[in-house]
Structures are given as structure tokens and as C-alpha cells.
Structure 1
Amino acid sequence: MALRWRIAALVAAATCAVAAAVGVLVHHASRDRELSQARDTARTTLDRAALIYARTGGVQGSGAVMDAPGLPGGLRRLVERGHQGTQFTGGPGGPAMWAARPAPDGQVLSVHVDMNTPMRDIGALDTNIVLAGLVTTAVVLPLGVVTAERMSRRLRTAAATARRIAAGDLDARISADPRPHDEIAEISGAVDSMAAALQERLRGEQRFTADVAHELRTPLMGLVTAAELLPPGEAAGYVRDRVRVLSTLVEDLLEISRLDAGAEEADLSPCPLGPVLEEAIARTGLFAQLLTPGDDDGDRTADAGSGATVCTDPRRLERIVANLVVNAHRHGREPVEVTVAADGRTVTVRDHGSGFPDDLLEKGPQRFRTGVRERGRGHGLGLTIAVGQARVIGAALEFGNAPNGGAVATLRLPEGPVDRPIHD
């Protein structure tokens, strides 16, 4: 059950409970008052009748009777023991208050006060209290629903903002408007403060990464030049290879820093998808089959001129596909296939290795983490860059594993205008 309905039900239950408690208290207070008044009236009448009986020897005109047949048995036994008393009865004759005392000649002198009217008034009062409780509940319940809905809406807003922050949107805030000073406002303020602190910390880390990569660039260029001047040999080749890896790592770090800072902007233009994919594969220097919807047997490579025209940034699209192909070769097994779906906007890169690790499928790529050992070695930056570049061009990059084995990366390009001329 939703929180607002729980609160509304609680308000309704509390209202009914209060109305019932008030009704019971009023009922008993009214009944006790009427009984007390009737008891006093009966006693007064009985005392007056006793005086008349003592002076005249009779009770005519006093309102009392001798040995009344309707006298309650308990009250009669009390009088027979020589005591005076009163008793309320609700017998067939209707509610009544009896008062009795012993007469000098051994008889029982009693007074009967009819209480039909007071008890009827109390019954009417009970009915009015019930109606008032129902009306109060009918009025309070909508107010409780409205109040609970406002509280629930604020909580849902806080939860949605927290989910956005968890998804990476550190600019998300619950509200910039003044809020009531209550517990929900404290939660909202705490979430906003947490997001601001997390954003500032992340920006500091991004600045540090960018500064380190930038400062390494100049000495690294000198190192690259020095490595090229080394005489041929096995050691020189190893040094050149390590320098090249280090240079690639620094460039990747700089690219990630720009992506994290939001400094990258896409230069969108209509372009044929097939040639862009072929160029991306060629850049890697690795083999990958490029397949299109016409390749029904999956064994023929696609024609370079085939495929739809898409509106995207070709340089960034090449970067994404190249990183996916390199990742497939480095961490998976051949054959590596790049497939264009029938819609002309979905590109799939698949290898036939052990597949992506569960941690990557659950949380997405994380820099400097390559997953399980079977996926090979690397810096874990290629997929991170691919995801960032896909976000820049408005595409969605999804990761999964094929049922029969192998990692599958699916790039879904957005729909866009393609009416501008294409310049080759």
C-alpha cells in the first residue's frame, strides 16, 4: 500500500477512534447525569411521602405507593433488611428509577420515576454523535489524503533525485524553492548537500587527472623522440612499445577528462554508416567482419557502400567502434563481428570469448578495471571512452553476452535529420 493511503487510513482510524471515545464519554456523562437527577427526584419524593404517611397514615397525593407490585426484588430485599435505597430498572414497563424505604408498619414505601423521556434523549444524542463522527471523518479523510499526497510527492521527488545522482547526474537537486521545516526537508537538504559535496570531490579528481595527464604530455613527447633515436635492437623495440603504451594511456586520460568535464561537443553531419565502420576497423589494424542485414548466412563481409545514412559525428563514431573492436580482440576471441541491424542505426560488435564479467554488466565500464582474468589485461579505459563518446553523440551503448558465448556491445544511434548534402 502506498504511503499516502497508509497515512490517510491512519488519519481516518484516528478520527473514528477519537469520535468513538468522545461519544462513549458523552454517553456515560449524560446517562450518569440523568440517573443522578432521577435518583435525587425519587429520594426527595420518597422523603416527602414518608412525612405525609407519618402524619396522616396514608400516601394519597404523595406520588408513593405501598408494596408496589413492580418493585425490583433486590431493592425489596434491601428494604426488608431495614435499609433505604434506589435502583434503576429497564423492565417491560420502560426505564424507571425506584426509591424505597421501610414503613413503620412493616410495609414497603416506594416511589417510581419514569425515565422514558431522558433515555430517549440519550439515544438521540448517541445517534447525533455517530452522525457527527461520520461527518468529521468524511471531512478529515480528504484533508488527510491531500496532506499525505504532498508528503508522498516530496518523498518521491527526493527518491527520484537520489536515483539521478546515483546514475551520475550530480547536478540534480531536489528543489531550489523554500521547503517546510520538517523531517522531509532535512532529508532533502542532506541529499542536496551530499550531491554538492560529491560533485565537488569528483570535479577535484577530474582536475587532478587532467592536470597529471597534461603535465606528463611534454616529458612523454621527449621520451617518444628519444626512443625513436635508439639503435635497432630487442631492448629498443621493447622501450618503444612501452613508450607507445604510455603515450596512449596519457591521451586516453586526457580524453576521459574532457568527457567528464562536459567539454566535448558533437559535430553532427549526415554520413554513410558503412564507410565509417570500415574506417574504424581499419584504424585498429585488426581483422573484424563487417556484416549488414543482407548477409543472411553471416559469412560474407558487407559491401563498403552499403548501409543507411545516419546523422552523427563520424570521428567520434569511429572512435567508439574502434575501441569496441580493440576490446573484443584484447579481451575476447576471434572471430570479431561488426554487424549493422536492419534499422540502419544499430551497430553490434561481438567476439566469441568468455563474455563480459557480471560486474561490468551490472555497473557498466569502470576505468582501470578490466574484469576477470580471462578477459585479458589492459587499462580499462577503452570502454569508458566509448560510453562517454556515445553519450556525446546522443547514442546508447549497451553491453551483454550472447546465449552461445561471447561479449556483445550494442550501439544504438539516435534518429536525426539526414537532409543535408553529404560531401565526400
Structure 2
Amino acid sequence: MRPVLPQWSGTLAVKAAVFITVMCCALAAMLGVLVHVSVTNQTVGEARDLALSRLTDATTAFEAGDTLGWGAGVDPPGLPKALRTLALAGERGTMVADHRGRPTMWAAGPVDGGRVLAVGVDYAQSARTIEALDSAILWSSGLAIGVTLLIGAFAVTRVTRRLHATARVARRISAGDLDARVDDPRSKQPALPQDEVAAVAVALDTMAASLQGKLLSEQRFTADVAHELRTPLTGLHAAAELLPPGRPTELVRDRVAALRTLTEDLLEISRLDTGRERLELDDEALGALAGRVVRASGTDTEVSIVRDTRVETDRRRLERVLGNLVSNAHRHGRVPVVLTVDGAVVAVRDHGDGYPEYLVAHGPQRFRTEGGAKGHGLGLTIAVGQADVLGAALTFANAADGGAVATLTLPQTPPAGARLPDGAA
């Protein structure tokens, strides 16, 4: 099972912001350390040189018996113990330590008699300089990170906005809107540098145009074939009616009727594919309409009215949807077949082997059946198309205890563009 992450955790903008922030912090820290070390070394070096210079002058004065300069003394009380030990060992050295509440740069060296000569130089100004530098590094780094993050967020947001627009168009195309196009502005201006987002947008638009062209070509082909078949089938049907009674005549008439039904189904699908179907609305009682559909089907179908209601719908199209569902249940399922009306929800259930997995997952597909079932897959395809025209939702599922269930949920309000009955408000 894949882990469920927060929605924000996968966005490109957040990832880019985190990356920019981390890189800016790392760069600011590296530069801050380099500047701090460089300036500190320079400041400490200057103070050390000054202290050693004064120690040399004090040593010369001590050896000549002259008065020691300011800040110099023999075995001064504030001299750090480590530096005193170093001087007693015969070495000269320096050390920064607090003396009377102020930072002091000490320089010490040995003199005769096992004593230590030391000089203290005020280090407070140098320490304040380093502290001010550290403070400046911190606020300037914070400012630089903030400005960089804002600029980066602006740049990334422009890219993600275009990506989201491309994704929305892709979803519209997946939903069947082949007229949708990204029309990325950058792709229309060859003078501008073309980035990857523009390339994806152009590829998606090209794919949509190609799919639309192929689909329209197939739709025209289907409609043309159906129209061309209609005329000879009419003549064939008339000729079959003139044949003498008998078993061969019955077979011919049966096959002609099946071919005419297939042709009419293809014509209906071609009309649905054009998307130009319009509703003729009437006020209908669902319970009574379901009863008429079952009686017209001539099948042994049980009608269960849980909660009857009246809806504004196209009676002919709704009867077509329910009729196809009932016919499909009897053809591919097993009795009992039950048509249930529960408010604006109508369900048709059989007790057969259920729908194939592909149909439950992706919906019916033309001329596709499985498991040796007979048919062309057009009945459910027409039902889905007519349900879309009605603005209804038609779903397919398999019951837990066996059998296929088709559920039609009618809209509470008529779809846009529907024609209301005469006299309706």
C-alpha cells in the first residue's frame, strides 16, 4: 500500500522552495565562516603583532633599567596561567583573556630571575569589531536568503502555474473534451527561448489534435457506413417480407432485423458522438416510467419502488437508457432481474456472473465482449451516451453476493441547454 502524503508535500513549488532555502543557507554559512575566519585572523594578528612589539620595547627597557611602558609589568596579577607557564619555559607567546572585565591581548616572555615580563593590550575594540561583523553576516545572510527565496518562488510559481494549466487540459482531454488546448504563450513566440514546459504543452496540443482528427475520422466513417447500409437494408427487409413462409425465410428475416438494429445503433452512436443532441424535457414519474420500460421490454423483470419521485427529464432518452440496461441484464446475466427506483436513483441488477473487470474500471467499449458473451457492446455504450445527454451519472459495479448492478443517478436540475416543456417557467 502506498503511503498517503500531505498534498503540499509533493508540489514542485514546495520542493523548489526547500531546495533554494537549503542551498542559500549552506552558501551563506560557508561564506559567513570564511569571512569570519579571515577577518578574525586579521584582527587577532594585528593585536598580536602590537602586543609582541610592545613586549619587545618593554624587554629592552627592562634590560636597560628604564621605566616600563604603559600596560607592561613583571609578573602582573592578571596574566593567564597558561601563558605564564609558557614564559617560564623560556618561550614568548600571546593569549586573549579577560582582565578587569575587558578582553585583553597578552604578550609574555621570560626575563632573568625566573620571572615573566608581560604586556597587556586592550582587545575590546577588536572584539566588538568581530561581533559586529558576525551580526552583519547573520542579518545580511537572512536578507539574502529571503530575497533569493522570493525570487525563486516567483520563478518556480510561473513554471508550476503553466504545468498546472497543462495538467488541467490533459484531464479535460481524458474526460473527452478533445477541443481543449494548452496554447502556451511561450510556444507561440519562437523568438523567446523555448523551455521544457512549452515543449510539453506543444506535444500535448499536437497529441490532442491528432486524437481529435482520428476520432472525427472514425465517427464520420461509422456514420457514413451506417447511412450507406440503411438503403440496401431497407430493400433487403422489403424483399424478405415477400419470401414464402418457412424456416429459411424466418432465418433471413431474423438476420435482416439484427442487421437493421445494428445499423440503427451505429447511427445513434454517431449522433451522440457529435455532441449536438438536445433534450426535450417533460415532468415524469419515475415509477410509472420504469413500469412502462419493463412492459415494453417483454421480459420478466421485477420493479421495486422504494421511493417514487417526479423528475424533469427527456422521457424518450431515459426509456432508452433503462431499456438497454434491462435488455443487457437479461442477455448477459441471469434472473431474477430487479429494477429499483429510489428517488432520483434507478438501479438495474441481475444475478449472473457480473460485469467484466474492464467494464467496471473503464466503462463499456464498443464491439468488446468477454467470456463468450454475444453482442456488440453497443447497448451499454448507447446507455452511457444518452445518460451523458441527460446529465445523469451511470455507473457499473458487481454486487458482493454476485450479479451486475447498473446505477443511474438523475440530476436534480435539468442540464444547461435543455428545452423545457411548453408553459414551464
Deviations 1:10-55 (A, max 9, x none): 333333333322322221121111123223334544555566678x
Aligned residue runs from structure 1 range 6-405, under 5 A: 6-46=15-55, 56=64, 58=66, 60-61=68-69, 70=79, 72=83, 76=87, 79=90, 86-90=93-97, 95-97=103-105, 111-137=119-145, 141=149, 149-174=157-182, 177=185, 182-293=195-306, 308-341=309-342, 343=343, 345-373=344-372, 376-405=373-402
Deviations 1:237-261 (A, max 9, x none): 2222222222221221121122112
> Take 2:68 and 2:404, find their aligned partners in 1: how far apart are those partners?
113
Amino acid at match of 1:191: L
> Take 1:112 and 1:78, find their aligned partners in 2: how far apart are those partners?
20
Amino acid at match of 2:392: A
Deviation of the 1:385 alpha carbon: 0.4
Contact kept, 8 Å, 1:359 with 1:371, in 2: the verdict is no
Amino acid at match of 2:395: E
> Take 1:165 and 1:224, find their aligned partners in 2: how far apart are those partners?
42
Contact kept, 8 Å, 1:162 with 1:191, in 2: the verdict is yes
Amino acid at match of 2:216: R
Q: Which moved more, 1:377-386 or 1:313-322?
A: 313-322
Amino acid at match of 1:188: A
> Take 1:194 and 1:77, find their aligned partners in 2: how far apart are those partners?
88
Q: Which residue of 1 aligns with 2:5?
A: none
Q: Which moved more, 1:250-259 or 1:277-286?
A: 277-286
CA RMSD, 1 decimal: 3.6
| Fraction of identical pairs, as percent | 48
> Take 2:266 and 2:231, find their aligned partners in 1: how far apart are those partners?
15
> Take 1:77 and 1:244, find their aligned partners in 2: how far apart are those partners?
122
Amino acid at match of 2:265: D
With the length of structure 2 as denominator, give the TM-score of the two structures: 0.79
> Take 2:312 and 2:114, find their aligned partners in 1: how far apart are those partners?
119
Secondary structure of the 1:367 match is: coil
Unaligned 5+ segments in structure 1 are 295-306
Contact kept, 8 Å, 2:36 with 2:130, in 1: the verdict is yes
Amino acid at match of 1:359: Y
Amino acid at match of 2:322: V
> Take 2:199 and 2:89, find their aligned partners in 1: how far apart are those partners?
69
Q: Which residue of 2 aligns with 1:302?
A: none
Contact kept, 8 Å, 1:400 with 1:408, in 2: the verdict is yes
* Number of matched pairs: 402
Secondary structure of the 1:383 match is: helix
With the length of structure 1 as denominator, give the TM-score of the two structures: 0.79
Deviation of the 1:139 alpha carbon: 5.4
> Take 2:126 and 2:86, find their aligned partners in 1: how far apart are those partners?
22
Amino acid at match of 2:221: F
Deviations 1:379-404 (A, max 9, x none): 11100001001111222212223333
> Take 1:205 and 1:88, find their aligned partners in 2: how far apart are those partners?
91
Deviations 1:289-310 (A, max 9, x none): 333237xxxxxxxxxxxx5443
C-alpha distance 161-74 of structure 1, shift in aligned 2 (>3 A): farther
Q: Which moved more, 1:101-110 or 1:15-24?
A: 101-110
